[in-house]
Structure 1
Amino acid sequence: MWEIIVASLMVIAEARYENVNIKQDWWETAVFYQIYPRSFMDSDGDGVGDLNGITSRLEYLKEIGVNAAWLSSVFKSPMHDFGYDVSDFYTIQPEYGSMEDFEQLLKKANELDIKVVLDLVPNHTSNESEWFIKSASRDEYYSDWYIWENGHMDDNGFRRPPNNWISLFRKSAWTYSPNRDQFYLHQFGEAQPDLNFRNPVVVDEIKNIIKFWLEKGVAGMRINSVNHFFEIDKDIYGGRYPDEPITGKPGLGPDDYGYLEHIYTKDQDETYEMVSQIRDVFDAITLRNNVTRVMMTDAYTSIKNAVRYYGEGIHSGAHIPFNFALVENLDKDSDARDIKYVVDRWLTYKPLRKQANWVIGNHDVSRVASRFRPELVDAFNMLVLLLPGIAITYMGEEIGMLNGFVPWSETKDPLACNTDDPVNFIEVSRDPVRTPFQWSNGKNAGFSTADKTWLPVAEGFEHLNVANQRSAVRSHYQVYRTLTNLRIRPAFRFGRYESLALNNDVFAFKRWYNDDTYVVVMNVGKTYRIVNLTAFDLIFGQLEVEASSVLSSRTYSDNVQAGYLDLAADEALVLRMQV
C-alpha cells in the first residue's frame, strides 16, 4: 500500500512540472492504430486482407480520429508465422500486393494526413531467406550471420541440442541443419532463425533496411522483440552456451517456455546500446527530411527494463518503448486499485520528460471485450485515449470486437499448432484475436467476397460491426470518436494528471490545464456505486457529461453532482468542471 501511495505522490509531483512546453511533435499525442493486414480488408476476393484493402479504408481511420496506421509485418514471407518470418525485407509479400500498391497506400495516407508505420522484425529471418540458406551452406560472407552451435550425442547415440534453451513457441530453441551439421538458434519458431547481432555486417544490413523504408516515406517503424537481440556471450563460458536455470513453476514441463528462467537469452545489456545505434538511423533521416521518423520498440519484460528503452545518459533510445502494463498486469479480476497502481507505476518509472504510451491490445493478446467483459470496452478506451501521452489501439477495439472461435481444424497460429493438443490449444492460440475485421452484416462481415476467408469470421458479426455502430445513436464507435475529439483539447494534450481509487470498484483521474478541468470516472465493478468526486482538489459543484459509456443512463451535456455521483455497474463517464 505504501508503494502505491508513494508512486501516486510522485506522479502528481511530476505532473506539476511536466509538459510546460506546449510545442509538441506529431507523434507525441498521436493515436496509433494497429492493422493486422491479413484480417483488415480483402480487395481482391482471395480471403486474405491486402494493401489495397487498407488503402480503401483509410477514410475510416480519419473518421475515428487516427493519426498513424501501424501495419503488422508486410514483408515477403513464407508465412509460417504470418509475416514474422521474413525472407526478404525489401519486398512486399505478394499476397498483400506490390511495391506500387504500397506506394499508393502511402500517397493516399499522406493526402489524409495519416502517417504509416511499419513493423520490422530484425531479431530473426525466415529459414527460407537467402541469407540463411547461404549461411547454412557456410558461404564465406553469410556464415556468421546466425547463431550456430555444435550439438552432442547422448548415450543412446541420438543427436541432442547444445543446451536446454526453449523457444517461445515451445520445445527446443535449437534445430539441426544437416547441410551445415550444426544447430541454429531460434527463440521463436524453428522457421525463424535468430540473427547474430554481434556480427557488425548484420547490424549494418538491418540499418540499411530501416533507411530504405524511411526514405520511401514511412513515418516510423516498430522494432519487434528487441529484448531477444542478444544471447549471453558464450566466450564468457568457455566457448559454450550454458543451460538456463529451471523456474520450478508448477504444471510446466521441459517443453514449456516458462519452465526456464531466461537469464541468458533476453534482456542482455548489449541490447540497449544496439537500440541507441538504431535510433541514430531514425534521427539522421529526421534531420535530412525535417519530419520526425518515429522509432517504437516492443519488449515483454520487467518495467525496469522496459523504461531503459527510452535511452540512458547521452544515449537516445526509442521514441515509444511500448508500455504493456495494461496488458500484462490487469485481468478480469482486477479492481480500481489495481488500475491505479498499474497506471501510476508506469508514469513514475518512465523518465520525467518522456512521453507515456498506452496499449490495451494487439494481435497477440485477447481482446478487451473477451479479456475483461464487453461492458468495459468504453472504460478501457477512455484510459488509452485520455491518459497523458500516446494512444495505441488494435483494430476492432474501437467497436468492441470479441475474440472469434477458431477450431483446431482451422487453426493457423504456429504457437497453437506447436502444442500438438487439439483440446487445450485454445489457451495459447492467437488466431481468435486475428479473425477478420467486422465491417458490416454482409458476407464475411464485409471483409471479403471470398467463399472462405483465411480465418473464419467471428460469430455475432451480424450485430457487432462498423455499419451498425455508425448508424446507432449510441455505440462503442460513437464513444471512440468522441474520445479522439476530446483528446485534442489542451487539458488532454498537455494537461496535468492526478488519480484516485475512490473505492474497490471506482477508478477516477483528473486532467487539467489552466481553468479547463475534466474528471474521467469508471466503475469497473458489477454493482451500483456512489462516489464523492470532491476527493480531488478543486472539484466541486456540478460537472457536465462530455462522454458516457454505451450502457450509461447519462448523455452529453447532462449535469451530475461532484459530491454525490451514483454510478451503475460498468458505467464510465468523462465529466467537465463547470466554471
Structure 2
Amino acid sequence: MLAKSLTVCCLLALIVSPTLAELGWWRTAQFYQIYPRSFKDSDGDGVGDLNGVTQQLAYLKEIGVTATWLSPIFTSPMADFGYDVANFYEIDPLFGTMEDFDNLLTRAKQLDIKIILDFVPNHSSDECEWFIRSAAGEAEYKDFYVWHTGKVVNGIRQPPTNWISVFRGSQWTWHEGRQAYYLHQFHAKQPDLNYRNPQVVEAMKDVLRFWLRKGVYGFRIDAVPHVFEVAADSTGNWPDEPRNEYVTDPEDYSYLDHIYTTNQPETIDLVYQFREVIDDIDAELGGDDRVLLSEAYAPLDVLMQYYGNSTHNGSQIPFNFELISNININSDAYHYSELIHNWLDNMPSDKAANWVLGNHDQSRIGSRLGADRIDAINMLLLTLPGISVTYQGEEIGMTDVFISWEDTVDPQACQSNEQEFERLTRDPVRTPFQWSDESQAGFTDANTTWLPLADDFKLVNVKRERGIALSHLNIYKQLRALRDEVTLKQGDIQVNALGPNVLALKRSLAGQASYITVLNINDDVEAVNLDSVFTQLSSQLRYVVVNDKSVRRKNDLTFANSVLLMPKEAIVLSTV
C-alpha cells in the first residue's frame, strides 16, 4: 500500500498532439458491453436479440459510446448462454439472422458506432461439427481437441490428471464413442480446442478474418489465460496441479493452484498471432483500426506482455481488472490510488490505459461498492486517461437482482448446490435492461423474461432518468461530453489520496484548462486542500460536474485550498 503521506505523479505518455487520429480512435474510446439476451427484445419471446440492439443504437449514441462489444451471438445450444459455440460462422436463431446482423452493422455505421464481437477461442460446444468429427476419430479433426485415454489405478480407469473445472468437478469427461477423456476447463459441453495443433490455430484465424471482412471492428477475446495447458511430457502425460491448502471443497475450482492450465507462455504468442490477422485485415481493407480486447485475469507482469513487445504487436486493450477485482466496499482512498498506479506505472509508455469496473461476470458497481458510490465510480472511470469500458446498465445505476436457487440458470451456479450458488451465480448481473417504467421495464412485450426483472425498475430506468438533472444517467452523459476536452484526451495525470476518505485526480495539458476529479468515498464531511497535492492550480476552481450529494451547483466557484465535500460527494472541478 502507498504510504499515507506519499504524493505520486504519473505522467502518462498517451498521445502527442496533433497525431491523435493517426494513433487510433480506440486510444480514448468509450466501449460499452451489451449482453444481447438482456438488452432489448424485439420479437416478444422474452429474450433480447439483434434487432433489439439495432433499435436501441441511438441510445448508445446518446450516451456517447464509441464502440460496443456483444457477448456471443453465434449458433449455440446455450449450455453457457452462447459461450459454447456450435458454429463460429452463424448467428443463433435466438438472436436473429445474418441479415439482421448486417442491418445492425449498417445502422451502426450510420451512427459511427463500431461493432466488436466476443470471440471464444478456448473451446467450442460439444455439438460443434469439429468436435463431433474429432470424437469419431476422423483424421483431419482427430487432434482438434485435447484427448487422453486416462490412467488405470487398481483396475479402475480414471482421468489423466486432478485438474478441476472452473464450473466445478473434473476437467475431464469420458467420451464413450472415442473411448477417451476430453479436456474442458469450463462446462462439460465446452471441450477445449487443442492449440498445439497448427490446424486449430489457422481455423480460428479464419473465423476472425470472416467477421472482420463482414465489417466488425475487432474482438473481445474470451478467457485467454485458459487457451493453453502445459505441454505433455514424452509419455504424453501431464502433471497434477498442487493443492490450495486454504480451500477444503475438492470440487471447487480454487481447491487447486492452476499453474499448469492457465497463463502458459504460449498464450502470449497466440495473442500476437491474432493481432497479425488484425493488422493484415487493416492493410487489406483500410479505414479505421480494428482492435483486440483481451480478457485475462492474470498477474500484472503477464498482462503487460499482452500489449506486445519490441518485435510483435499484441492486444491494444488488455483488460485492466485491477479495480474490478480488488476494490471492495471497505477500500479506502489509498487502495484506489495504489491500484490505479499499478496499471499506469507498469504500462508501456506508448500504449493506452483502459479501465474496467463492470462486466457480465461481476457483481454490479452499486451492489459491490454501494449504490451511493455509483456516480463517484463513473466519474473515476470517465476521467481517468485512456479507454473506458462500461457494462450495460451501469450508466443508470442498475444493481444486482436476487435470483432464487429455483430460478437460477447460470451453469456456474447450477453445478454447485443451494448453499453455495449465491457465491457463484452470475445471473444477478445479467437481468434485463431497464428502459422505462412500463410493463417489463420496456424490455419486451412478453409476459415473462428469461431472468426476473429488478424490483426497482420503475425508479431506475432510462426514461425516468432522462428527466432528472442529477440522475446517474445524466451525470454519466455530462462526464462523457467532458471526455471530448483535449485535456482529458491527451493530458497528463496525477493521482493522490488526500487521507483515507478522499481520492483526487488531476488531468493537465499545457495551454489548456486542468480538470480535477475529487471523490469522497466515505460518510464524513471532508475539507480538503488541493494546493497541498497539486501544483499550478489557480486559486479559484469551477464546478464542472456535481452529483446529488453536492450542495454546490455547476459553474459555482470554490477555492483550491478549501474544497468542502459532503458524504459520498463526487465532483469534477476545472481551473478558471
Category of TM-score, reference length = shorter chain: over 0.9
Distance 2:330 2:153 in 1: 47
- 3-state secondary structure, aligned to 1:340: helix
Counterpart residue number, 1:373: 370
Report what 2:183 is aligned to. Answer: 185
* Range 83-92 or range 535-544, more displaced: 535-544
User: How far apart are residue 20 of structure 1 and its match?
Assistant: 2.5
| SS class of match (1:242) | coil
Q: Does 1:334 align with 2:331?
A: yes
* Alpha-carbon offset, residue 552 of structure 1: 1.9
Task: Note the 1:280-299 alignment, pairs <5 A.
Answer: 280-290=276-286, 291-299=288-296
Aligned partners of 2:51, 2:198: CA distance in 1, in Å? 37
- In 1: Cα distance, 2:105 partner to 2:522 partner: 43
Q: 1:28 to 1:295 in 2, by over 3 A?
A: same
Match of 1:255, SS state, is coil
Call closer, same or farther: CA 1:281–1:415 in 2, change over 3 Å. same
1:62 maps to 2:61: yes
Runs (4 or more) in structure 1 with deviation over 4 Å come to 1-6
Tell me the CA shift for residue 428 of structure 1: 1.1
Residues 214, 285 of structure 1: 8 Å contact kept: yes
Deviation at 1:43, TM superposition (A): 0.2
Give distance in 2, aligned partners of 1:533 and 1:4: 16
Any gaps of 5 or more consecutive residues in structure 1? none
Whether the 8 Å CA contact 1:399–1:469 is kept in 2: the answer is yes
Are 1:151 and 1:183, in contact at CA under 8 Å, matched by a contact in 2?
A: yes
Contact 1:30 1:390 in 2 (8 A): yes
Residues 460-499 of structure 1 mapped to structure 2, 5 A cutoff? 460-499=456-495
Displacement of 1:140 after TM fit?
1.0
Classify 1:173/1:22 alpha carbon distance in 2 versus 1 (closer, same or farther; 3 Å). farther
**Per-residue Cα deviation, 1:137-184 (whole angstroms, up to 9, x for no partner):** 1111111000001223443x5432111000111111111101111111
Moved more, 37-46 or 293-302: 293-302
Alignment partner of 1:213 is 2:216: no
Q: Among the aligned pairs, what percent are the same residue?
A: 47
Give 3-state SS (helix, strand or coil) of 2:193's partner. coil
Measured after TM superposition, the shift of residue 459 of structure 1 is 1.1
Given that 1:375 and 1:551 are in contact with CA atoms closer than 8 Å, whether structure 2 keeps it comes out as no
> C-alpha distance in 1, partners of 2:215/2:361?
27
Of residues 233, 236, 245, the one that matches 1:235 is 233
Aligned to 1:388: 385
Q: CA deviation at 1:21?
A: 3.8
Which secondary structure state, in structure 1, belongs to the residue aligned with residue 233 of structure 2? helix
Normalised by the length of structure 1, the TM-score is 0.96
**Deviations 1:45-75, CA, capped at 9 Å, x for gaps:** 0000000000000000000111111101111
Alignment of 1:294-443 (within 5 A): 294-419=291-416, 421-443=417-439
Uncovered stretches (5+) of structure 2, i.e. residues with no partner: none
**Partner of 2:263 in structure 1?**
267
Secondary structure at the counterpart of residue 285 of structure 1: helix
1:502-521, aligned counterparts within 5 Å?
502-514=498-510, 515-521=512-518
Deviation string, structure 1 residues 92-145 (Cα, Å, up to 9, x no partner): 011100000000000000000100000000110001111101111111111100
Tell me if structure 2 keeps the 8 A contact 1:534–1:540. Answer: no
Give the AA of the match of 1:199: N
User: In the TM superposition, what is the alpha-carbon distance from 1:5 to its structure 2 partner?
Assistant: 8.6
> For residue 473 of structure 1, what is the amino acid of its counterpart?
A
Query: 2:571 is aligned with what amino acid?
Result: L
Task: Work out the CA distance in 1 between the residues paired with 2:14 and 2:99.
Answer: 43
- Partner letter of residue 142 of structure 2? S
Letter in 2 for 1:190: A
Aligned residues between the structures: 570
Q: Tell me the equivalent position of 1:458.
A: 454
In structure 2, how many angstroms separate the alpha carbons of the residues matched to 1:47 and 1:19?
Answer: 45
Quick one: distance in 2 between partners of 1:319 and 1:448?
36
Residue 18 of structure 1, CA deviation: 4.8
Structure 2: distance between partners of 1:117 and 1:22: 27
Shift of residue 2, structure 1, vs aligned partner:
6.0
1:33 aligns with 2:29: no
Q: 1:501 maps to what in 2?
A: 497
3-state SS of paired residue (1:462): coil
Whether contact under 8 Å (1:476, 1:550) holds in the other structure is no
CA contact (8 A) 1:479 1:550 kept: no
